[in-house]
Structure 1
Amino acid sequence: MSTLTTTAPAPATTAPSVDALGTSAAKARSAVLEEQILEEPGRFRVLTGDRPTGRLHLGHYFGTLHNRVRLQDLGVELFVIIADYQVLTDRDVADHLAERVEELVLDHLAIGVDPERSTVFTHSAVPALNQLLLPFLSLVSVAELNRNPTVKDEIAHSGQSAVSGLMFTYPVHQAADILFCKADLVPVGQDQLPHLEITRTVARRFNERYGNGTAVFPEPDALLSEAPLLLGTDGTKMSKSRGNAISLAADADETARLIKGAKTDSERHISYDPVGRPEVSSLLLLAALCQGRTPEEVAADIGSAGSAVLKRTVAESVNEYLAPIRARRAEYARDRGYLRRVLREGNERARAVADVTLAEVRTAMRNHY
C-alpha cells in the first residue's frame, strides 16, 4: 500500500450482487478475478487486515496471510489495516494494545509482507478514515444492519450478555476501512460476504446520491478464498479467543507440545475422513499443507502407526515449514525501532490517501446540497 492513485477496474463496478445471486455467483466472480489479476495485477488494490486481539496462528496463516503475500508478489497494491479501534467492538477494554499491534507487524514482516511494496497501518492513526463513518451510516437502514447474519453470529460468540453499538455498526466501520483507499478487491471467506455486501451498498448509494453521474467509490469485489478449515487442538475451530491455536510466534518445543496434546480418536489406522474423523483429518491437512502434498498421501505414509506417529509427523512438518518464518520474526523483533518506522511510514501513506478521499466526499456532498 504505497501512496496511491488507483482507478478501479471496470468489471469491479458491475459485479453481480451477492444477495441476488448467492455464494455460487461470488465464487464464479472470484475465478474471473483471479484470471484478471494474473493478466494485469497492477489494476487492483486490496484491503485486508486483522484486529490486534492476540497472536496470529496457523489458521490465519493458511486461511489468509499467505494469500496476502501471494497477491503482493504478483504486483497487486496491498493495504493491511491493523484495526486497533475495532478491538472494542466485542469487548469492554483493549488490553496490551501497543504490544499486540507490534506483534501483528512482526507476523506480517515475518511471512513476507514488504513495507516497500505494501502499506501496513493502524486504524487509529488515520482520522479521516473514521470521519467517513457518519456519512456512510446515513446510507444504510437500521433494518439492514439488524439482519446482518455475520454480526448476529459474532454477537452470539462474543461471550458477552450485551455488546456495544460498535458491534451493531461494525459492517459500516469495515465499509469505511475498505472505501477510504478505494479498494476494489477484498479477500474474504464466505461468512464475510454479508459484510462486504454492506460495503457495496454504501458505495453504490453514495455514488447514486452524491456522485452527480460519476462513481466516487468502486463497488469492491469479494476475492473468495478456499481457506482450509484447521481445527484447534481441542477439536473446535482454531481461534485466538479459545486458546486452542498454534501461534506463528510459538517456538518449536511449544509447537510440538501443543500438537502432542491435540485431540484425535481411538482408531489406530490413520485415514483422511473430514466428516467421520474431523480431528485426525485436520492434523493430516495441516501436515499436508506444510509438506505440499495431499492429506491422503500423508495418511498413507502413516498407515496403522497410530496417533502418536501422526502427531510427530505433524509437529516435524509444521516446525520445518515455520523455521524460516520464525528466523525472520526473531530478526525483526530485535529492532523495535524498525517496526515503529514501518508503522509510521505506513500510517503517513494511509493518511495521505484518506485525506484525499475525505476531501472528495465533502466536495461531492457539498455540491449535492
Structure 2
Amino acid sequence: MDAASLRHAEQVSDDLKQKITEDASPFRMLTGDRPTGNLHLGHYFGSLRNRVELQNAGVESWLIVADYQVITDRDAVGEIRDRVYGLVTDYIAVGIDPENAVIFPHSQIPALNELVLPFLSIVTDSELRRNPTVKAELDATGGRPMSGLLLTYPVHQAADILFCKANIVPVGKDQLPHLEQARVIAQRFDKRYGRAKGAKHPIFPRPQALLSEAPSVLGLDGQKMSKSRGNTIELGMTADETAKRLKKAVTDSERMITYDPVNRPEVSNLVQLTALATGKDPVEVADEIGNGGGGTLKNVTTEAINEMLAPIRARRTELENNQDYVRDVLKAGIEKANAQAEETLREVHEALQMVYL
C-alpha cells in the first residue's frame, strides 16, 4: 500500500471514530480470531480491549471464531474444540456481552461459506497471489506447495466480513489489503450481477477499516509475542504464573529505567506494558521507577498486570466452571449468524437469478 492510500485510510478511520462517538447505531463491526492458541496480553492490548470499548459505545458487534482458517497452513487442527471454547470464554471474560454481540465459528455457518463460490468468480489468480498475507504464508512454508485454501484465504475473509453486512472492521495497517479485497468483491459483485430483486441498495456494503491505535507489544524476551516462544502472558494464567514469567523477562544492566524503545526495547516493553495496564504515560512510569533497576521494574509490571487482569481472571474462572453457559452463547450466536447468512445468500441467489422454486 502506497503512502497516499495509507493516509486516506487513516483519514477515513479518524472520521469513523468521530461518527461513532456521535452516533454508533449505524455501525456493525465484524472482528475475530483464529483458535490456534490461548489469548494473551498482545491480543488484549492489540484488539480485545478496543472491541469492548466499541461494543460499549453502541457498535453492533459480530465476533467470528475463524476455525476453518486453522487448516489453511496446518496439517491438523489439534484440540480445536477446547480452543474454540477457550476463545469464547476469554471474549466474555474481558467484557464482550453475549446479549449485545453475536459470537460464532464460521465452520457452522454453511451459507456463509457458500458465498465463497460466487466470490471466487470475480477475483483473479494473480490478485490472490499478490496478497501480502498469502505471499508471507507461502514464503514461510519453505517451498512447500500452497494449498488452494491458503491461496483463497482473502476470499474467505471477504465472505466472513460481507455475509453479515459489516460496515466497519477493526484492523492493523498490515491487514488493509485483506479489507480492500473485500471492498473490491462487494463492488464487483454489484457491478457484474446486480442486486436482489426490488432492492434499492447493493447487497453488500463497502466495509471500512477502523485502524487500531494500539502500540506494538513485544514478548518478554524482546521478540515478537508468540505462544510458541513461551514469551507471552496468557489471560488464563494465574497471578503466580504471571509473576514467574515476568521474573524471567529480559532487561539490561543499566539501573536507571528510561522509556527508549529504539535503544532499550526490552526495558521499554515492560515500561509500556505497565503503562497500558495502569493508563499512565510510559515516560511517567519510567520516571517513577527511576534508578530502581530491572528488578523493581519487573515487580511494578507484575503488580500492574495482575491487578488489571484480576477481574478478568475471576470471571474466566466462573465461566470455566460453567461451560454450559459458554455452549449456550455459541448456540445462540450460531443461530443468529445462520439466519443472517441464509438471508444474504437468498439475496445473492436472486441477483444471480438462481432461484428456481
Deviations 1:166-220 (A, max 9, x none): 1111111000000000000000000000111100010000011112584111110
Asked if 1:274 is matched to 2:261, the reply is yes
Question: What is the alpha-carbon distance in structure 2 between the residues aligned to residue 102 and residue 31 of structure 1?
Answer: 34
1:81 and 2:64 are equivalent in the alignment: yes
Corresponding residue to 1:143 among 122, 126, 131: 126
Q: Which amino acid aligns with 2:76?
A: V
**1-structure distance, mates of 2:111, 2:229:** 34
Counterpart of 1:169 (choices 146, 152, 157) is 152
Match of 1:304 in 2: 291
Question: What pairs with 1:207-246 in structure 2 (closer than 5 Å)?
Answer: 207-211=190-194, 214-246=201-233
Instruction: Note if 1:315 corresponds to 2:302.
Output: yes
For structure 1, the residue ranges without an aligned partner over 5 or more in a row are: 1-17
Partners in 2 of 1:160 and 1:274 — Cα distance? 35
Whole-angstrom CA distance in 2 between matches of 1:242 and 1:229: 17
One-letter code aligned to 2:34: R
Q: Which moved more, 1:19-28 or 1:45-54?
A: 19-28
Contact 1:199 1:220 in 2 (8 A): yes
Report Cα offsets for 1:237-276 as digits up to 9, x if no partner: 1123433211100110111111111112222211000111
Letter of the 1:228 partner, please give it: P
Matched position secondary structure for 2:353:
helix
> Structure 1 residue 248 and structure 2 residue 231: aligned?
no
- Give per-residue Cα distances to partners, 1:56-102, cap 9 Å, x unaligned: 00000000001111111111110000011111011111000100000
Greater shift, 148-157 or 232-241, is seen at 148-157
User: Does the C-alpha gap of structure 1 residues 204 and 148 become closer, same or farther in structure 2, counting only changes over 3 Å?
Assistant: same
Q: 1:79 is paired with a residue of what secondary structure? A: strand
Please give the alpha-carbon distance, in whole angstroms, between the structure 1 residues aligned to 2:17 and 2:40: 26
2:327 equivalent to 1:340: yes
Q: CA deviation at 1:52?
A: 0.4
CA 1:275–1:178 in 2, change beyond 3 Å: closer, same or farther? same
- Residue type of the partner of 1:29? V
Cα 1:156–1:280 change in 2 (3 A) is: farther
Q: Please say if 1:72 is aligned against 2:59.
A: no
Note closer, same or farther for the CA distance 1:278–1:42 as it changes in structure 2 (3 Å cut). same
Q: Summarize the alignment of residues 195-210 of structure 1 with structure 2, pairs less than 5 Å apart.
A: 195-210=178-193
Partner SS for 2:292: coil
Q: 3-state SS of the aligned residue for 1:301?
A: helix
CA distance in 2, matches of 1:217, 1:184: 9
1:157 Cα deviation from its structure 2 partner: 4.2
1:154 is displaced (CA, Å) by 3.3
Are residues 1:262 and 2:249 paired?
A: yes
Distance in 1 (alpha carbons) for counterparts of 2:233 and 2:307: 14
Deviation at residue 159 of structure 1 after TM alignment: 7.1
Pick from 314, 332, 337: which aligns with 1:350?
337
Post-superposition CA distance 1:122-150 (Å, at most 9, x none): 11110000000011111111111111112
What are the ranges of 5 or more consecutive residues in structure 2 without an aligned counterpart?
none
Which residue of 259, 270, 283 maps to 2:270? 283
- TM-superposed deviation, 1:367: 7.1
Change (3 A) 1:201 1:344: same
SS state of the match for residue 139, structure 1? coil
The residue type paired with residue 250 of structure 1 is M
Answer whether contact 1:229 1:282 (CA < 8 A) is retained.
no
2:311 to 306, 324, 349: 324
Alignment partner of 2:75 out of 92, 108, 111: 92
How far apart are 1:160 and its partner, in Å? 7.8
For the Cα contact (< 8 Å) 1:89–1:163, is it kept in 2?
no
> For residue 104 of structure 2, what is the aligned residue in structure 1?
121
Aligned residues: 351
Q: Distance in 2 between matches of 1:82 and 1:19?
A: 31
**Cα distance in 2 for residues equivalent to 1:171 and 1:358:** 19
Q: CA RMSD in A?
A: 1.6
- Between 1:154-163 and 1:101-110, the stretch displaced more is 154-163
Q: So what's the TM-score if we normalise by structure 2? A: 0.95
Distance in 2 separating the partners of 1:267 and 1:196? 44
Identity %: 57
Tell me which residue corresponds to 1:27: 10
Match of 1:56, as an amino acid? L
Q: Does the C-alpha gap of structure 1 residues 120 and 311 become closer, same or farther in structure 2, counting only changes over 3 Å?
A: same
Secondary structure, aligned partner of 1:366: coil
Matches for 1:188-199 after TM superposition, within 5 Å: 188-199=171-182
8 A Cα contact 1:269 1:306, kept in partner: yes
Deviation at 1:25, TM superposition (A): 1.0
SS of residue paired to 1:228: coil
Q: Distance in 2 between matches of 1:85 and 1:352?
A: 20
Matches within 5 A, 1:153-164: 153-157=136-140, 161-164=144-147
